[in-house]
């Protein structure tokens, strides 16, 4: 350890660096200085805003801050005007968000200027895949904070405290909605007992500007109402939903609406009755309309008989453009398959010009190492949001195609599939908290750069103000150089590293079926539908590897506007990082680097392993600046990620080598695991 770092390490030890378990997230307690708050209006939300400001003020002692609610055409929705002594907004939510922005600037050192700060999206929503029994589908941080199996309807003080902490964290980054249950919904969520618990949750979330939503099962009229059908055009079904919606709003007057997964992966839906997605969504929208509720209708659909699963959502929804009610929003995953480590953006973005469309991102790391791997997802979401669809004109990015900039959407929205559970640190991995934070920040401002988001989060989460005050010059300078810059770069590189050691060059969906965690390019049980197996996607053979989506193949490229269609169609112009997504190419295909496709694949897998090893070194060097609890937790996770990265590399290269019949380049590390052992053991998910 360097002499200077040793001195800092000893200093922090002497000061007794406060133990941290991560539960406070990026909202760690601070010693506030006095501030006076003037507010002409009092309400639950304004009270929260005042308390937050008074408990967190880091500015000039005795300063006066004025809250002003006043309509201003330049301020949109929940936006606000901010200056050093005034927060002006159109509504109470805007005042609250202005307070959090002001406090964040004080803590990160960003200047506070006279400015207008408007949200990119009207609805900024977390989708919880939580089940009534307390389990969470694709949850890697413990059980649900909302539901439990034992004594499910009793609301305790601990419940309310946890919900309040959750609401505060969401509000601090501008999230204003929560879908409380799984998209693979249980009909029981609409029963009186569960609705009363929803009311209890809503009562805690409301003072933080957060509305509650529910996922529903389309066949609920049959399962709960004992009707013979769930046909959306049936009069009895329509009436049943109207009565159910009326019941919900009598209990929760500000209820937000429904999220619906229908006619997808075996879930019931309007297609069971020969009806369209528009028929189903509009029936629910009509029931919600009198209460200003919305329907978020998921476009995640695919058929086992379709030759290319990636095409079906576009094929099913674009013919319905303009047929949906104005309180229906089509919720579209960022890519056309399923939250893969890398996908092209979904061609639905920009293609539906008369319908409100909202992006859906996955915060929980279903395909990216669960709560074990350190993967900062902001770079993935930024890549998607800033991709140009070319559907309208050059510059018509996914962000601008969904936030109302280009198309006159009645509503704008964005959703993130939550990674939150009962674990003490909420997310299972200290750095997974950064993905919750990043989603909120990008939902508020879809033009933010991941570098800024990472730097904000690190300063809020790890900077030790006590040490800075005690030894200001040395600590601040060394913290920036030895902690902030290298750890931030680690975060920014982490997603690409995961792509490298898992599924480089456009490979996708080649994970083990055992929890979607480890490698499994061989997995194809007899009788399993093809599009649930990796060989369907990688198409490896002696002739080459990759899925042919060119005009000579499935023609998925034609779902993209020009010049993208032509760019993706030609392997000479297709980006290397999507090459095997759109092309089936021979193993000796010459890459832009001059290497063969096989060698390039090997280099990427090896690079990913080496990147994670470098992350270990970065984190070990950061030890003097992190409390021991969080340091050791992250250190242990990185060790396991490195083990997993090696397994991914060894499994995939040895498996694909059976088809390429080419040697692994001699300048990269030899496999240390035998393929037959990996296949026999099939990596089990570990926490």
Is 254 found in the same domain as 323?
yes
148 and 60 in one domain? no
Domain final position from 50, 82, 117: 117
So what's the pLDDT on residue 640? 98
Contact assessment for residue 336 and residue 389, using Cβ atoms and an 8 Å cutoff: no
Q: Mean pLDDT lowest for which of 3-17, 58-72, 135-149?
A: 3-17
554 belongs to a structural domain: no
Contact assessment for residue 58 and residue 32, using Cβ atoms and an 8 Å cutoff: yes
Say whether pTM exceeds 0.85: yes
Exactly one of 21, 265, 326, 620 is catalytic; which is it?
A: 265
Residues 167 and 204 both lie in one domain:
yes
Q: Which residues pair with 64 in a beta bridge?
A: 36
Co-location of 416 and 441 in the same domain: yes
- pLDDT tens digit sequence for 67-89: 999 999 999 999 999 998 999 99
Whole-number pLDDT of residue 113 = 87
Count of CB atoms situated within 10 Å of the CB of 7: 15
CATH number, domain with residue 320: 3.20.20.80
Q: Which domain CATH number covers 632?
A: 3.90.1330.10
Structural domain count of the chain: 3
The DSSP letter of residue 276 is -
**Mean pLDDT, to the nearest integer, of 503-524?**
94
> Would the pLDDT of 406 be above 60?
yes
Active site annotation includes 338: yes
Last residue of a domain, one of 76, 99, 117: 117
7 has a pLDDT exceeding 80: no
Given the residues 279, 308, 343, 366, select the one marked as catalytic: 366
H helices present in 396-464, as ranges: 398-402, 433-444, 450-462
pLDDT reported for residue 395: 83
288 and 189 in a single domain? The answer is yes
| Co-location of 260 and 349 in the same domain | yes
Q: Which range marks the domain in which residue 108 is found?
A: 18-117
DSSP 3-state assignment of 582? Answer: helix
Query: Residue 327: inside a domain, yes or no?
Result: yes
Give the containing element (helix H, strand E) for 228: none
Determine contact, residues 88/81, Cβ cutoff 8 Å. Answer: yes
Q: Are residues 294 and 377 in the same domain?
A: yes
Judge if 193 and 154 occupy the same domain: yes
Cis peptide before 285 (omega within 30 of 0): no
Assess if residue 191 is contained within a domain: yes
Confidence of residue 469 (pLDDT cuts 50, 70, 90): low
Vertex 362, ends 315 and 616: CA angle to 5°? 135
For residue 68, tell me if it sits in a domain.
yes
For residue 565, is it within any domain? no
- What residues pair up with 334 in beta bridges, in sequence order? none
Residue 69, domain CATH: 3.30.379.10
pLDDT digits (tens, 9 = 90+) for 635-687: 999 999 999 999 999 999 999 999 999 999 999 999 999 999 999 887 543 33
How far apart are the C-alpha atoms of 520 and 528, rounded to whole Å? 15
pLDDT tens digits, one per residue of 429-445? 999 999 999 999 999 99
Neighbours of 239 (CB within 10 A): 14
Asked if residue 566 is part of any domain, the answer here is no
Clarify whether residues 137 and 101 are in a common domain.
Answer: no
Among 16-30, 265-279, 282-296, 314-328, the range scoring the smallest mean pLDDT is 16-30
How many C-alpha atoms does 262 have within 13 Å on its Cβ side? 30
Q: Which of 120, 116, 124, 127 is nearest to 87 (CA)?
A: 116
136 DSSP assignment:
B
Verify that 503 and 398 share a domain, yes or no. Answer: no
Residue 310 in domain? yes
Residue 12 pLDDT > 70, yes or no? no
- Domain limit, last residue, from 66, 88, 117: 117
Q: Are residues 93 and 205 in the same domain?
A: no
d(CA 3, CA 43): 54
Concerning whether 641 is annotated as a catalytic residue, the answer is no
pLDDT of residue 303: 78
Among 19-28, 159-168, 277-286, which is the least confidently predicted range? 19-28
| pLDDT attached to residue 475 | 85
Q: Are residues 264 and 166 in the same domain?
A: yes
- Classify residue 483: in a domain, yes or no: no
Q: At 331, phi and psi to the nearest 5?
A: -95, 115
Confidence of residue 149 (pLDDT cuts 50, 70, 90): very high
Q: What integer is the mean pLDDT of 272-280? A: 98
Q: What does the alpha-carbon distance between residue 265 and residue 213 come to, in Å, rounded to a whole number?
A: 22
Tell me: the pLDDT tens digits for 411-421? Answer: 999 999 999 99
Residue labelled with tokens 């008989």: 305
Distance of alpha carbon 75 from alpha carbon 458, whole angstroms: 30
Q: What is the pLDDT of residue 18?
A: 58
């Amino acid at each position: 350890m360097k002499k200077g770092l040793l001195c800092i390490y000893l200093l922090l030890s002497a000061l007794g660096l406060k133990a941290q378990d991560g539960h406070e997230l990026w909202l760690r307690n601070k010693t506030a200085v006095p501030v006076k708050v003037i507010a002409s209006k009092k309400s639950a939300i304004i009270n929260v805003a005042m308390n937050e400001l008074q408990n967190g003020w880091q500015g000039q002692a005795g300063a006066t801050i004025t809250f002003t609610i006043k309509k201003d055409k330049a301020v949109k929705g929940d936006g606000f005007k901010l200056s050093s002594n005034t927060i002006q907004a159109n509504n109470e939510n805007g005042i609250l968000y202005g307070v959090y922005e002001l406090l964040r600037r004080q803590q990160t050192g960003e200047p506070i200027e006279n400015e207008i700060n408007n949200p990119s999206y009207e609805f900024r929503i977390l989708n919880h895949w939580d089940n009534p029994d307390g389990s969470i589908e694709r949850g890697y941080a413990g059980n649900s904070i909302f539901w439990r199996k034992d004594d499910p309807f009793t609301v305790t003080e601990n419940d309310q405290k946890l919900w309040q902490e959750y609401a505060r964290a969401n509000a601090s980054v501008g999230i204003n909605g929560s879908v409380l249950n799984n998209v693979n919904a249980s009909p029981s969520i609409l029963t009186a007992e569960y609705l009363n618990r929803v009311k209890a949750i809503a009562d805690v979330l409301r003072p933080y500007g957060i509305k509650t939503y529910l996922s529903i099962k389309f066949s609920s009229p049959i399962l709960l109402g004992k009707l013979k059908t769930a046909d959306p055009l049936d009069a009895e079904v329509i009436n049943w939903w109207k009565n159910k919606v009326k019941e919900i709003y009598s209990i929760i007057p500000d209820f937000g609406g429904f999220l619906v997964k229908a006619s997808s992966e075996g879930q019931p839906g309007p297609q069971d009755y020969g009806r369209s997605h528009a028929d189903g969504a509009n029936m629910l929208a009509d029931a919600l309309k009198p209460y200003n509720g919305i329907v978020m209708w998921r476009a995640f659909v695919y058929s086992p008989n379709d030759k290319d699963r990636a095409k079906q959502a576009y094929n099913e929804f674009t013919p319905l453009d303009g047929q949906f009610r104005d309180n229906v929003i089509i919720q579209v995953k960022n890519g056309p398959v399923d939250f893969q480590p890398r996908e092209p953006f979904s061609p639905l973005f920009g293609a539906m010009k008369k319908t409100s469309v909202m992006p859906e991102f996955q915060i929980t790391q279903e395909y990216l190492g669960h709560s074990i791997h350190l993967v900062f997802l902001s770079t993935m979401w930024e890549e998607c949001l800033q991709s140009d669809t070319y559907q309208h004109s050059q510059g018509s990015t996914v962000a601008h195609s969904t936030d109302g900039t280009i198309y006159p959407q009645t509503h704008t929205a964005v959703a993130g599939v939550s990674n939150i559970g009962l674990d003490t640190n909420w997310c299972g991995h200290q750095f997974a908290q950064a993905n919750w934070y990043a989603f909120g920040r990008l939902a508020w401002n879809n033009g933010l750069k991941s570098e800024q988001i990472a730097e904000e989060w690190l300063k809020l989460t790890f900077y030790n103000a006590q040490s800075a005050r005690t030894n200001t010059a040395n600590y601040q300078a060394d913290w920036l150089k030895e902690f902030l810059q290298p750890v931030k770069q680690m975060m920014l590189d982490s997603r690409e590293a995961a792509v490298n050691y898992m599924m480089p060059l456009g490979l996708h969906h080649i994970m083990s079926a055992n929890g979607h965690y480890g490698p499994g390019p061989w997995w194809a049980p007899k009788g399993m539908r093809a599009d649930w197996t990796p060989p369907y996607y990688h198409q490896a053979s002696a002739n080459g590897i990759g899925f042919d989506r060119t005009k000579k193949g499935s023609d998925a490229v034609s779902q993209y506007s020009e010049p993208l269609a032509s760019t993706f169609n030609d392997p000479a112009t297709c980006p290397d990082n999507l090459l095997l997504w759109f092309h089936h190419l021979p193993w000796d295909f010459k890459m832009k680097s001059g290497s063969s496709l096989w060698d390039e694949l090997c280099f990427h897998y090896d690079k990913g392993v080496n990147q994670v090893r470098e992350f270990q070194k970065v984190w070990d060097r950061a030890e003097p600046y992190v409390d021991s609890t969080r340091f050791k937790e992250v250190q242990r996770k990185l060790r396991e990620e490195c083990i997993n990265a090696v397994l991914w590399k060894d499994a995939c290269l040895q498996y694909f080598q059976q088809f390429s019949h080419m040697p692994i380049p001699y300048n990269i590390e030899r496999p240390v695991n035998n393929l037959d052992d990996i296949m026999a053991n099939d990596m089990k998910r570990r926490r």
